């Protein structure tokens, strides 16, 4: 593909204009003159802006089945009366279709890759592979009952998935390790999983200090150690790690995260919706920590709208610090793109740059909510909507264009998700 | 027009299915059988949902010229270094095109009517009239210099506009009175404008306790009186009033607003973006006060996305009260529709109901971010985007359909706004 006379956002968040060529899965040329020998589709850049695609660093794709299922409930009521009973009835078929739905929704919002923590790994891998999008899938490990690590079914499933699926779909699908959280496992499990992840070069994906209860409870359970201090002690940060939420982290916790190069994934919409709190993103950025953005599941969001997520990251920081000057649009845009790609260990993703994967989103600037343009990044972060997405491209392949899905039968997917949801509701 | 086998949200926020007919500007029939004698366009309801359109209860439409113009600045820097110098160079032509742009943007986000506080009233009226949408336009009055009310140019402009434009465009355009705020006028001006509004049956549109500085400053200037107490003393609440922001109102202020039937218009996105604070919407609703939603200007938003505004109303309340159970999706949806219509004195608007104005939005439910449907109102408030708007209808007339503007030349409007913006920037 060749984008002709296209404005694009470069790796320094500057708007440039020129020719951008992709070939197979990669960006092969960027320059002010047309490249020689292009034979592919030519897309004219008039009124358009080419940006790197978004990387969703914390999601639970199959939970699209539970969109809007429980509203206005306390966290414990929501989990115990709604989410857990529903999840107890999940099937492979339901998870497959729900993941496919989330892939379609992701493409609509410009997301090409998700750090996806759940179970039914095999069915998630199948859906992601078929969709043409990408995911770092982790089989989340919990251990409430002190079971021996190597005898747990979940561990067997995880190990099998790591063997079978890592670097499948030409590297679009990667496997992460995941200890669900401090309060859902014992110390031995954390240590053993960390060791396993180290041996297999896996990223460790963790829920960290999402709620005050979790954060304070951890200190009671572990002689005053916060979740960050506890995981650090257990070796979970001796490998590349991705800590989701980090709402209640202290200054000392931020020191640990910085020292250990842990990526922080903030989930502003979900954290506000469940009244968990607001992540101290300004302090985290000041310490040079890699910041990424996550949607969390649509059961507590209730969509995968990454424009909204970027905007809420800015707004939530401004209201937390009561200071309109914190978090620049450039910092937010970087977190949504490069920050997320880095969280997923995708070093050749997240920027419009020769040699990188062609993970791109084409934006229409000729929309009433995008005019006039004083600053394109300001408009992207605070004014754009999914309406402006002309196409979403993953590894050089168009997944979504002008409302049409190229790899997913969306009508059938919506039908099957509804059927699966109805069946589960009947069985509860 | 006839909507056949259409799901719609009725005035009690319940989803019903049937036939909905409009004729001229009104909804003329709702029933389970097809009405007799319909000869207009028939729209099949499959996969669609018909909802009342949105009423934006606080906006400054011409400020679309300044979208994304100043980011990450303190309020005083933003006003003094960016907004005021820019506004100083505004022209009639610039205001006309910028208002037209905002009308197009409004339609895209399902808004049919705006309580629009600014100046250059005549040019705003022209744009609104041409667009087919609606507005309650007020010529905002400020008086820093103790001028005599009847000798002020702004008052002359306001009076002339009230004479010429009230109930023009078949009642689509209404005139409100507006005292800009406590800190921008003296007491005599507030009293005289309130008296004038009373005599002419105008709604009074006011900025109230937006920032802590304003709220506390008022108490210093007026012997401990808060802005609400001060305006009440001056007679501004003896007429139907619309108080925008109300971030810092106290319990006693809420008593006054309840007693005087003042509508509170909350602007969640703008208040977070400028780090002004969060309106105590839960307390306001508990007192039975009419709650409406506003976008404020896109200079501090940066769009007119009413789906986002609804979602942020919910999220900001949950984080303010640190309680996920406050504000139901139904309360939020009501504020966006009936609450806003009531704020504008449009008693025959805001609900899908026979005899009401045909102000309607047709929503596509067959989208990945809208499936599955556990509860349609939950999905509308927390998952929908402008992508799902199939058409926006004002007084029975289609303004926007599938990305096309029926009454506005959007390409020309964007071009003219850009030109006007460039010209102003050059002159600063």
pLDDT tens for each residue of A27-75? 999 999 999 888 899 999 999 999 999 999 999 999 999 999 999 999 8
Of A69, A272, A411, the CB nearest to B374: A69
Task: Indicate whether A144 belongs to any domain.
Answer: no
Per-residue pLDDT, averaged over A140-168, amounts to 95
In the predicted structure, residue A123 carries a pLDDT above the cut 90:
yes
User: A328 and B64: CB-CB below 8 Å?
Assistant: no
On whether both B90 and B114 belong to a single domain, the answer is yes
Best to test chain B binding among A368, A381, A420 (most B CBs inside 10 Å): A368
> What is the pLDDT, as a whole number, of residue A13?
94
Task: Indicate whether B413 belongs to any domain.
Answer: no
Strand order across the beta sheet in which A204-208 lies: A54-59, A111-118, A134-139, A173-179, A204-208, A241-245, A263-266, A291-293
* CA B199 to each of CA A249, A355, B203, B344: distance values in angstroms, whole numbers, following the listed order: 58, 71, 11, 18
User: A68 and B382: CB-CB below 8 Å?
Assistant: yes
CB A48 within 8 A of CB A7: yes
Of A72, A108, A273, the CB nearest to B368: A108
CB B74 within 8 A of CB A324: yes
CATH of the domain at B270: 3.20.20.140
On whether both B323 and B388 belong to a single domain, the answer is no
In a 13 Å sphere around the CA of B228, the CA atoms on its Cβ side amount to: 25
- Specify the residue for token string 């504008």: B344
> What is the pLDDT, as a whole number, of residue A209?
98
Chain A residues near residue B105 by CB distance under 8 angstroms: 368-369
Which residues, 6+ apart, have CB-to-CB distance to B240 below 8 Å?
B203, B204, B261, B263, B345
> What is the pLDDT, as a whole number, of residue A38?
82
By C-alpha distance, the chain A residue nearest B68 is A378
By C-alpha distance, the chain A residue nearest B279 is A319
User: Other C-beta atoms within 10 Å of A121: how many?
Assistant: 23
Query: d(Cα B284, Cα B252) in Å, to the nearest integer?
Result: 11
On whether both B313 and B205 belong to a single domain, the answer is yes
Of A272, A366, A386, the CB nearest to B385: A386
Task: Indicate whether B420 belongs to any domain.
Answer: no
On whether both B20 and B32 belong to a single domain, the answer is yes
Show the 3-state SS of chain B.
CEEEEEEEECCCCCEEEEEEEEECCEEEEEECCCCCCCCCCEEECCCEEEEECEEEEEECHHHHHHCCCCCCCCHHHHHHHHHHHHHCCCCHHHHHHHHHHHHHHHHHCCEEEEEEEECCHHHHHHHHHHHCCEEEEEECECCCCCCCHHHCHHHHHHHHHHHHHCCEHHHCEEEEECECCHHHCCHHHHHHHHHHHHHCCCCEEEEECCCHHHHHHHHHHCCCCCHHHHHHHCCCCCCCEEEEECCCCCHHHHHHHHHCCCEEEECHHHHHHCCCCCCCHHHHHHCCCCEEECCCCHHHCCCCCHHHHHHHHHHHHHHHHCCCCCCCHHHHHHHHHHHHHHHCCCCCCCCCCCCCECCEEEEECCCHHHCCCCCHHHHHHHCCCHHHEEEEEECCEEEEECCEECCCCHHHHHHHHHHHHHHHHHHC
By C-alpha distance, the chain B residue nearest A73 is B325
User: A383 and B273: CB-CB below 8 Å?
Assistant: no
Percent of chain A topping pLDDT 70: 100
User: Other C-beta atoms within 10 Å of B406: how many?
Assistant: 14
> What is the pLDDT, as a whole number, of residue B12?
93
In the predicted structure, residue A386 carries a pLDDT above the cut 90:
yes
Chain A residues near residue B319 by CB distance under 8 angstroms: 272, 275, 277-278, 316, 319
Domain enclosing residue B38, as ranges: 2-52+349-405
> What is the pLDDT, as a whole number, of residue B77?
93
Local structure of A368: helix, strand or coil = helix
pLDDT tens column, A249-305: 999 999 999 999 999 999 999 999 999 999 999 999 999 999 999 999 999 999 999
On whether both B324 and B365 belong to a single domain, the answer is no
On whether both B326 and B356 belong to a single domain, the answer is no
> What is the pLDDT, as a whole number, of residue B54?
98
A309 min Cα distance to partner chain B (Å): 11
What are B178's two structure tokens?
Answer: 């507006």
User: B368 and A413: CB-CB below 8 Å?
Assistant: yes
Task: Indicate whether A319 belongs to any domain.
Answer: no
By C-alpha distance, the chain A residue nearest B327 is A72
Of B275, B303, B371, the CB nearest to A319: B275
ipTM: 0.97
Query: d(Cα B64, Cα B46) in Å, to the nearest integer?
Result: 36
> What is the pLDDT, as a whole number, of residue A71?
94
Task: Indicate whether A329 belongs to any domain.
Answer: no
> What is the pLDDT, as a whole number, of residue A109?
98
Chain A residues near residue B414 by CB distance under 8 angstroms: 366, 368, 371-372
Cite the beta strand spans of A87-161 per DSSP E. 111-118, 134-139
| Gyration radius (Cα) of chain A, Å | 21
Best to test chain A binding among B285, B371, B392 (most A CBs inside 10 Å): B371
- Count contacts between A and B (CB, < 8 Å): 217
> What is the pLDDT, as a whole number, of residue B138?
98
User: A301 and B382: CB-CB below 8 Å?
Assistant: yes
Of A104, A315, A318, the CB nearest to B368: A104
Q: Looking at B317, B343, B369, which one is the last position of a domain?
A: B343
Q: Of A240, A235, A248, A308, whose CA–CA distance to A283 is shortest?
A: A248
Of A105, A319, A325, the CB nearest to B278: A319
Task: Indicate whether A48 belongs to any domain.
Answer: yes
Task: Indicate whether A254 belongs to any domain.
Answer: no
pLDDT-based confidence at A366, cuts 50/70/90?
A: very high
On whether both B141 and B281 belong to a single domain, the answer is yes
> What is the pLDDT, as a whole number, of residue B38?
82
A269 min Cα distance to partner chain B (Å): 7
- Specify the residue for token string 């790591």: A162
By C-alpha distance, the chain A residue nearest B69 is A374
On whether both B254 and B388 belong to a single domain, the answer is no
On whether both B212 and B298 belong to a single domain, the answer is yes
Which residues, 6+ apart, have CB-to-CB distance to A169 below 8 Å?
A128, A129, A134
On whether both B127 and B168 belong to a single domain, the answer is yes
> What is the pLDDT, as a whole number, of residue B333?
98
Pairing of β B42-44 and β B2-9: parallel
User: B319 and A316: CB-CB below 8 Å?
Assistant: yes
What is the enclosing helix (H) or strand (E) of A342? Answer: helix A340-343
Of B101, B273, B305, the CB nearest to A315: B273
CATH of the domain at A389: 2.30.40.10
By C-alpha distance, the chain A residue nearest B308 is A308
By C-alpha distance, the chain A residue nearest B326 is A72
In the predicted structure, residue A360 carries a pLDDT above the cut 90:
yes
Pairing of β A360-364 and β A48-52: antiparallel
On whether both B287 and B331 belong to a single domain, the answer is yes
A382-386, A404-408, B73-77, B337-341: least confident range: B73-77
User: Domain total for chain B?
Assistant: 2
Query: d(Cα B348, Cα B355) in Å, to the nearest integer?
Result: 7
Pairing of β B241-245 and β B263-266: parallel
> What is the pLDDT, as a whole number, of residue A158?
97
By C-alpha distance, the chain B residue nearest A69 is B374
- Residues in chain B where the model's pLDDT stays below 70: none
Of B302, B328, B387, the CB nearest to A383: B302
> What is the pLDDT, as a whole number, of residue B224?
98
On whether both B309 and B223 belong to a single domain, the answer is yes
Q: Before A170, cis peptide (omega within 30)?
A: no
B303 min Cα distance to partner chain A (Å): 5
Chain A residues near residue B388 by CB distance under 8 angstroms: none
Task: Indicate whether B48 belongs to any domain.
Answer: yes
CB B241 within 8 A of CB B207: no
């Amino acid at each position: 593909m060749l984008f002709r006379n296209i404005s694009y956002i470069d790796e320094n968040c500057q708007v440039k204009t020129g020719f951008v060529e992709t070939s197979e899965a990669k960006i092969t040329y960027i320059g002010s003159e047309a490249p020689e020998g292009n034979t592919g589709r030519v897309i004219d850049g008039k009124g358009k802006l080419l940006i790197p695609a978004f990387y969703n660093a914390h999601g639970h794709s199959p939970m699209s089945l539970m969109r809007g299922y429980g509203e206005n409930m306390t966290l414990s009521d929501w989990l115990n009366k709604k989410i857990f009973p529903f999840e107890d009835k999940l099937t492979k078929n339901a998870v497959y279709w729900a993941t496919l739905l989330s892939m379609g929704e992701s493409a609509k919002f410009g997301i090409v890759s998700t750090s996806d923590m759940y179970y039914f790994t095999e069915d998630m891998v199948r859906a992601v592979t078929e969709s043409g999008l990408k995911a770092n899938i982790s089989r989340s490990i919990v251990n409430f009952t002190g079971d021996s690590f190597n005898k747990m079914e979940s561990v067997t499933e995880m190990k099998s998935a790591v063997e079978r699926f890592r670097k499948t779909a030409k590297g679009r699908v990667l496997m992460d390790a995941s200890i669900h959280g401090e309060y859902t496992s014992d110390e031995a499990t954390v240590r053993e999983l960390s060791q396993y992840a180290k041996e297999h070069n896996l990223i460790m994906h963790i829920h960290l200090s999402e709620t005050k209860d979790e954060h304070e409870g951890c200190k009671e359970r572990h002689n005053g150690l916060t979740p960050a201090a506890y995981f650090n002690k257990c070796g979970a940060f001796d490998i590349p790690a991705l800590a989701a939420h980090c709402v209640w982290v202290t200054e000392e916790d931020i020191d640990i995260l910085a020292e250990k190069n842990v990526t922080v994934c903030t989930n502003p919409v979900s954290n506000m919706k469940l009244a968990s709190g607001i992540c101290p993103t300004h302090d985290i950025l000041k310490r040079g920590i890699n910041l990424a953005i996550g949607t969390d599941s649509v059961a507590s969001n209730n969509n995968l709208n990454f424009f909204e997520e970027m905007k809420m990251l800015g707004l939530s920081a401004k209201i937390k610090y009561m200071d309109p000057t914190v978090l620049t649009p450039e910092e937010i845009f970087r977190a949504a793109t490069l920050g997320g790609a880095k969280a997923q260990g995708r070093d050749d993703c997240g920027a419009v740059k020769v040699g990188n994967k062609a993970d791109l989103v084409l934006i229409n600037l000729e929309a009433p909510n995008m005019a006039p343009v004083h600053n394109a990044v300001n408009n992207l972060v605070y004014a754009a909507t999914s309406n402006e997405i002309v196409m979403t491209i993953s590894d050089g392949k168009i997944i979504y264009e002008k409302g049409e899905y190229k790899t997913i039968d969306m009508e059938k997917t919506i039908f099957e998700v509804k059927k699966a949801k109805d069946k589960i509701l009947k069985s509860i």
